[in-house]
A = this chain, B = another copy of it.
């Protein structure tokens, strides 16, 4: 098999730049890819940091003007890992230039901006890095739900709890600046769990939110909570916070259906808890499935059963799925349309909190 080369330009070089670079290296080691990936150019404002990053992660070139990069004919993919405020402009330019676009979440600063991006990206293959869809345990959860194993979903309970923002005096982080980040826990964390809810349980129909900032003077939200109704008749709660002392990265959900239930926690991402309520009553319980194979999504690509994977592998699996879909012409999710749907929920959350009213979706 001869594989076409894809030249990647990555805009951004922080935490996500690292996670993406790693995926670009590793995807071909673990998956049979229909494309060869070339780490062509890494672009950012801080030239020294970009240079160090290029050296460490094997980028051919560095650049500091993303517009020039987008204009380059030899670039196939624009990967966007900048602060949120830049996503739209870069993505729209990239779309105009006919590039494949991979964009970090949150897709945009708000719904209308996301809509513009989704519109612009209609003609090009696109992806939003909602990488948690490809946690093997979450992919297994999706599979069990689609097979009807948990029946009609009554209740969906999601939370993404972190503590790194819990020092009210902490400043100097771009994620705390409204102009860069747009929002706080909402854009960073709530988008993840709303996308997972869309993936696992479908759209919300209305919600009622409380958005709160604990740290005096901080421009963005520290916590956001909402209660909602799903189109499928279920009800749900969503909570995100950077003030949950004791929680490092607890992205968790519990889903209760008529036939069973599921529970997941990102800090133990190699596990899915499954409750099968169709078993004899005396032999029911929460089954802790160690989702490392055999037979689980993605796991045959990594290590033998019982040998766990980590955070970074979710990016690798996402990338592999995208490339496979790209080669076959299949639809890929999460894409900009999915990112837009999440952004519309964010807007509703903001509006609900401001107006202190329920908001329809």
Q: Which chain A residues have a beta carbon within 8 Å of chain B's beta carbons?
A: 15, 19, 21-22, 25-26, 28-29, 56-57, 140, 150, 154-155, 157, 159, 162-164, 166, 208, 210, 212, 214, 223, 225-227, 229, 235, 237, 239, 241, 243-250, 254, 256-261, 263, 267-270, 274-275, 277, 280-290, 292-296, 302-313, 356-358
Contact = CB atoms under 8 A, between A and B. Distances in A.
A306 B21 CA distance: 20
Contacts of A29: 21-22, 25, 56-57
A275 to B, nearest CB: 4
25 contacts: A25-B26, A29-B56, A154-B166, A154-B214, A163-B277, A164-B304, A208-B227, A210-B229, A212-B235, A223-B235, A243-B256, A244-B254, A245-B256, A245-B259, A246-B286, A248-B306, A249-B307, A280-B295, A282-B289, A282-B293, A283-B289, A284-B287, A285-B289, A303-B312, A307-B311
Given A154-B166, A261-B245, A304 B256 contact: no
A75 B230 CA distance: 54
Contact of A311 (B57, B268, B275, B309): B309
A288 B290 contact: no
A28 to B, nearest CB: 7
A48 to B, nearest CB: 15
Contacts of A256: 163, 166, 241, 243-247
Contacts of A268: 268
Given A154-B223, A267-B270, A282-B295, 4 more contacts: A154-B245, A163-B256, A241-B256, A287-B287
A235 B224 CA distance: 10
A257 B245 contact: yes
Nearest to A149: B283
Contact of A246 (B275, B281, B358): B275
A238 to B, nearest CB: 10
A235 B29 CA distance: 42
A249 B289 contact: no
Interface centre among A140, A208, A258 (most CB of B within 10 A): A208
Given A310-B308, A313-B310, A267 B244 contact: no
Contacts of A155: 223, 241, 243-244
Nearest to A58: B29
B166 A308 contact: no
A283 B288 contact: no
A256 B247 CA distance: 9
Given A287-B285, A310-B309, A258 B225 contact: no
Contact of A310 (B154, B245, B310): B310
Which of A269, A283, A292 has most B Cβ within 10 Å? A283
A267 B246 contact: no
